[in-house]
Every structure is written in structure tokens, then in C-alpha cells.
């Protein structure tokens, strides 16, 4: 036990003889660790850290989603979406622990052409049954609306996250396997679909943060500084711009961001939204764990 430094927020998995797979130990019960037999190889941290950035982001607030306005920082569900774009299987479930905000929160108002309607599921079903695609299309130039959006400029974050094995995990699904897959894919820049910062128009670039890296790293140029200098290629080091360390990001006094969407409960009837009170403290938003009383449902 003495060989491991345990910091709060770390997630642990130990091999559990009774269930024959890795179990997560809740942090609150870390004092019981002494009583368990732990040895090297059977305990591992499987948190990951991903640096993401882009020119714009739009994490739409539900109340202002017609003339869209963004949340101040990336929502946990948008972060989950980015992780799932890199690696996801039914056997695992991504849980976002913490979000580091690296750049000052800046907005810009833009106007775009958007389509006025959704493709109706009923009509598509009917067309499939009929075997004929007549009248199914939505013509962009005939169903166009101009709408305003308040988007984030040059957002950059480091997402700290881990995953749990779900009930669908088979005997081959070990934590180590999925962690390795994720790390390998993220390091190579592979993804199944292009991850985005909220909406598909705003591409998310990503880079795996090495386990020994300090975030935010004190050296290197921040993404925003590189953007202004016209150097938009290459993966910047995940560092926080010194000009971002203001009360806006919760330095000095924590900044209340109000209630933010945690995720949508797709299992419950009616698919209700779940909210949590987001606070920026020293540039970090702590995300409550699933099942926590901080998540309002």
C-alpha cells in the first residue's frame, strides 16, 4: 500500500475474486483499501486525459437552442461524445470526471443558414416499407432559415475521464484491454467519426495527454496564442494561457455557471434531462459522478 500515492479523484480497479472481473472502488471507501490484499499488477488507475481544442465551439443551451447560445464551457455529455468517437463499445461506459478550461471564455455571434425541419421518422419508415423514396427529401434551398448563434471562440480543454464496464461486458472485456485500445487510438489520432465541439460544424482536434504530463503545463504556447499567431497546425501543449487565469475562470473566487446539462437519461421513459450545478474553480469544472445527489433528475 505504501508504494502507491493516492490522490483524490483517481479511480481504482482491483481484481475481485468473487465477481471474476475488475471492480471499481468508490473513493469514499479508500480507507478500506488497507484491509484488502493489494499487490502490484492487480491495482491500476485507468483514468485518461485528452486535450481537445478547435476554432469554435457551440454547446447549445436547451432553453436557447432555437437562436442558439452556448454554455460557457463544454458539457459532460459533449465531452463523452468526443471520447466515444475515439473508442466505444457496448461493454464500456465513459464517465467524465473533470474538465480543465485552458482558454478565456469568449463568445462571438454569427448568423447561419439552417434547415427548418427534421426528416420525419414516420415518413422514412413508410418509404422503407413502400420501397420508394418519393417526397422524402428536405430541400435546403426551399426550407431555409437564417438563425443566429452565440458560439465560443477558440475553446480548449483537457478532459479527465474514466470508464466503467457495463453489464454487457463479456469475459474478454477487461479494463486493461479497452484502456489500451483507447490510448493507442487517441495517440494515433484515430476516430470512428470526427469528434466535434458541440455541433458538427466545429471540428474537435484532440491529443492524448501523457500520464506523466502536468496539466496545465506551465510551458509552451496555448492554443489561443497559436491561433492568433496564425500557427494552427500541430498539436499544441495543453497549457493554460496566463491571460486566462482571471476571475472569469474561477481564479480567486469560484464562478457559478448555473445549472448545466449533465446528460440525458435515455433509459428513463420520456428521456428527461439531468442537470448539475457547474462551478469553475481555478479553471476546473468538477463533474459529479453518476448517481451522485448533485445530479438533479
Tell me: does residue 290 bind another protein (CB under 8 A): no
Among 1, 27, 42, 109, binds another protein (CB under 8 A): 109
Which run of H or E residues covers position 107?
strand 107-115
Q: Whole-number minimum distance, CB 199 to another protein, in Å? A: 13
Per-residue contact track with another protein, 59 to 98, x per CB under 8 A? --xxxxxxx-x-----------------------------
Burial annotation 80-116 (CB, 10 A radius, 16+ → b, else e): bbbbbbbbbbebbbbbbbbbbbbbbbeeeeeeeeeee
Q: Is 124 in the site for another protein (CB under 8 A)?
A: no
In the DSSP assignment, the letter for residue 181 is H
**According to the binding rule CB under 8 A, does residue 112 interact with another protein?**
no
For residue 116, state whether it binds another protein (rule: CB under 8 A). yes
Cell (9 digits) for 152: 465560443
Name every residue whose Cβ is closer than 8 Å to that of residue 127 and which is 6 or more positions away in sequence. Answer: 133, 134, 136
Which of 257, 286, 288, 289 is close enough to bind another protein by CB under 8 A? 257
Find, among 92, 267, 95, the residue nearest to 167 by Cα.
92
List, in sequence order, every residue forming a beta bridge with 13; answer none if it has no partner.
Answer: 24, 44
Binding positions for another protein, 215-254, rule CB under 8 A: 247-248
Q: Which stretch binds another protein (CB under 8 A): 49-57, 82-90, 147-155, 230-238?
A: 147-155
* Residues 159 and 50 sit within 8 Å (Cβ to Cβ): yes
Matching residue, cell 492554443 = 223
CB of 65 to another protein, least distance (A): 6
Q: Do residues 285 and 101 lie in contact, with contact meaning Cβ atoms separated by under 8 Å?
A: yes
Widest CA span of the chain, in angstroms?
70
Q: Which of 24, 45, 77, 150 binds another protein (CB under 8 A)?
A: 150
Q: Report, in Å, the least distance between residue 162 CB and another protein.
A: 26
Q: How far is the CB of 289 from another protein (least distance, A)?
A: 18
**Cβ 94 to another protein, closest distance in Å?**
20
140 binds another protein (CB under 8 A): no
3-state secondary structure (DSSP) of residue 147: strand
**For residues 81 and 232, what is the distance between their CA atoms, to the nearest angstrom?**
24
Q: What count of residues does the chain have?
A: 297
Residues between 155 and 194 with contacts to another protein, criterion CB under 8 A: none
Nearer residue to another protein within complex by CB, 11 or 78: 78
Size of the residue set binding another protein (CB under 8 A)? 40
Can you name the residues that pair with 14 across neighbouring β-strands? 23, 43
> 42 or 111: whose CB is closer to another protein?
111
Cβ closest to another protein, residue 158 vs residue 261: 261
Residues binding another protein (CB under 8 A): 61-67, 69, 106-109, 111, 114-118, 120, 146-148, 150, 247-248, 256-259, 261, 264, 270-275, 277, 296-297
Amino acid at each position: 500500500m505504501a508504494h502507491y500515492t493516492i490522490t483524490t479523484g483517481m479511480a481504482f480497479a482491483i481484481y475481485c475474486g468473487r465477481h471474476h472481473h475488475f471492480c471499481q472502488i468508490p473513493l469514499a471507501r479508500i480507507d478500506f483499501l488497507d484491509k484488502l490484499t493489494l499487490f502490484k499488477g492487480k491495482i491500476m488507475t485507468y483514468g485518461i486525459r485528452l486535450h481537445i481544442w478547435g476554432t469554435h465551439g457551440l454547446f447549445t443551451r436547451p432553453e436557447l437552442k432555437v437562436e442558439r447560445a452556448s454554455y460557457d464551457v463544454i458539457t459532460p455529455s459533449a465531452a463523452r461524445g468526443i471520447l466515444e468517437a475515439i473508442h466505444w463499445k457496448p461493454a464500456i461506459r465513459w464517465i467524465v470526471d473533470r474538465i480543465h478550461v485552458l482558454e478565456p471564455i469568449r463568445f462571438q455571434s454569427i448568423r447561419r443558414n439552417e434547415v427548418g425541419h427534421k426528416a420525419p421518422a414516420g415518413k422514412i419508415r413508410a418509404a422503407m416499407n413502400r420501397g420508394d423514396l418519393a417526397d422524402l427529401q428536405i430541400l435546403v434551398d426551399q426550407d431555409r432559415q437564417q438563425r443566429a448563434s452565440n458560439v465560443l471562440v477558440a475553446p480548449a480543454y483537457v478532459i479527465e475521464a474514466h470508464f466503467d464496464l457495463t453489464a454487457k461486458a463479456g469475459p474478454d472485456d477487461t479494463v486493461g484491454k479497452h484502456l489500451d485500445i483507447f490510448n493507442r487510438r487517441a495517440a494515433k489520432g484515430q476516430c470512428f467519426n470526427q469528434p466535434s465541439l458541440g455541433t458538427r460544424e466545429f471540428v474537435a482536434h484532440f491529443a492524448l495527454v501523457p500520464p506523466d504530463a502536468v496539466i496545465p503545463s506551465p510551458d509552451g504556447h496555448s492554443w489561443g496564442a497559436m491561433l492568433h499567431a496564425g500557427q494552427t497546425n500541430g498539436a499544441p501543449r495543453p497549457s493554460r494561457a496566463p491571460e486566462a487565469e482571471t476571475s472569469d475562470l474561477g481564479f480567486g473566487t469560484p464562478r457559478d455557471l448555473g445549472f448545466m446539462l449533465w446528460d440525458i437519461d435515455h433509459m428513463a421513459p420520456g428521456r428527461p434531462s439531468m442537470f448539475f450545478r457547474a462551478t469553475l474553480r481555478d479553471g476546473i469544472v468538477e463533474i459529479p459522478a453518476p448517481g451522485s445527489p448533485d445530479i438533479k433528475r
